[in-house]
Amino acid sequence: MLFTSVIAAVALAGAASARVEDLPRHLRLAYRDAINTTATNGNNASLPTIVYFGTGGTIAGSDSSATAVTGYQAGALGVQTLLDAVPEIINVTNIIGIQFTNVASDEMNTTLTMQLSRNISEYLASPDVFGAVVSHGTDTLEETAIMLDLTIKSDKPVVIVGAMRPATAISADGPYNLLQAISLATYAGAAGRGTMVTLNDRIGSAFYTTKTNPRSLDTFKAYEQGYLGNFVGATPRFWYEPAPVLNKPWFNITGFTTLPHVTILYAYEDMNLDIPLISAAIASGAKGIVVAGSGDGGTDSTWGAAWSALCKNASVAMVAATRTGDGSDAPDGPGGYTISANSLNPEKAKIMLQLSLATHGYNITAIQKDFDSDYPTFG
């Protein structure tokens, strides 16, 4: 277990700061736990080994009432407790369990998720490790999911899982979701499919899948692209052969501890009254602004003119996404100034833009090419 302990400690040391005492309290505790806590379900040489990173969320949530599904503490239980709740895992895999952090997912950030990505890549490089599972709060799960999808270069399965009911609730969905996620990470047919999101018997692509409902167990969907597969019990069933997102870019994040700051602004009637928000974003250091535009990425014309002028003047990248929740923006093409998010929603577009800016700098053509990955032209 020495290997595990060392990697876990390095993960959190690099995640936020070189000085543990400078970290916020919840991260200090997580750091301490990461050094001392690695989880395992024993060792059976005939079973594959996977690495499991716990990050917190409702799947690790706890409340004194078994009926509480709001107001509970997210990120309260550790990875060993979550694994102990699913003793059936012992028949599926050997686990290297790591408490990466233990927080509500609103506390996650791209410094942490890049570090998580690097740690997963290190483990997947070992021939002894078959795949990786991450448990995560559902609120920002899709953002971490696309970060992993865009930065891990491995055919081995990477699965991100959450739950909508805390672990202490009647009919908690976490234990079965975790069993399915771990089964998926050990399943040979799961290779080469990019990072996958699984909850509620469904398997989705991290690139497209989004949280669609703040309460329902059946919340993670990609309406336009659909699911990759489902589960019968704990057994994964894929609908098709592996079909990765066409021309999906891969970003080498070696050496990055932070990414350029990108702001998301939202479109609405009367937004012309809020033009100062654009200047405020630029003044706060934004190197890119994603607009959750109306319809096909639209904005009020006065606001749009100010957006364009202020961003051009400050060399700030402009990405138009849609607030409708689905569908593709029309691609503006490399000659245009506003970059189209294509089918990425605003929060996923923000991650893509951050990685793209970190890689290419302020190069609109190169950034648009990254966003065009799932908008191929044939013939």
Determine, following the binding rule CB under 6 A, whether residue 57 of this chain makes contact with ligand SIN.
Answer: yes
Determine, following the binding rule CB under 6 A, whether residue 185 of this chain makes contact with ligand SIN.
Answer: no
> Catalytic pick from 58, 140, 186, 322?
58
- The Cα–Cα gap between 184 and 202 comes to 11
The Cβ of residue 298 has, within 10 Å, a number of other Cβ atoms equal to 15
- The Cα–Cα gap between 181 and 296 comes to 35
Q: Catalytic site residue 4?
A: no
Q: Is the distance from CB of 78 to CB of 33 less than 8 angstroms?
A: yes
Residue 75 CB, nearest approach to ligand SIN (Å): 6
> Catalytic pick from 38, 93, 113, 138?
138
- The Cα–Cα gap between 34 and 11 comes to 9
Determine, following the binding rule CB under 6 A, whether residue 104 of this chain makes contact with ligand SIN.
Answer: yes
Residue 75: name the closest of 95, 99, 97, 52 by CA.
Answer: 99
Q: Is 105 annotated as a binding residue?
A: yes
Site string for ligand SIN, 64-83 (x = CB under 6 A): ----------x---------
If the CB atoms of residues 163 and 262 are measured against ligand SIN, the closer one turns out to be 163
Q: Backbone phi, then psi, for 90, in 5-degree steps?
A: -60, -25
User: Candidates 137-145, 244-252, 263-271, 300-308 — which segment interacts with ligand SIN by CB under 6 A?
Assistant: 137-145
The structure tokens listed for 342 are 């294509």
Which of 54, 78, 157, 162 touches ligand SIN (CB under 6 A)? 162
DSSP string over 254-281 = TT-SS---EEEEE--TTGGGGTHHHHHH
- The Cα–Cα gap between 376 and 140 comes to 28
Residue 169 CB, nearest approach to ligand SIN (Å): 11
Determine, following the binding rule CB under 6 A, whether residue 139 of this chain makes contact with ligand SIN.
Answer: yes
Binding-site residues for substrate, in ranges, read 105, 138-139
What amino acid positions are annotated as catalytic residues? 58, 138
Interaction site with ligand SIN (CB under 6 A): 57-58, 74, 104-105, 137-139, 162, 164
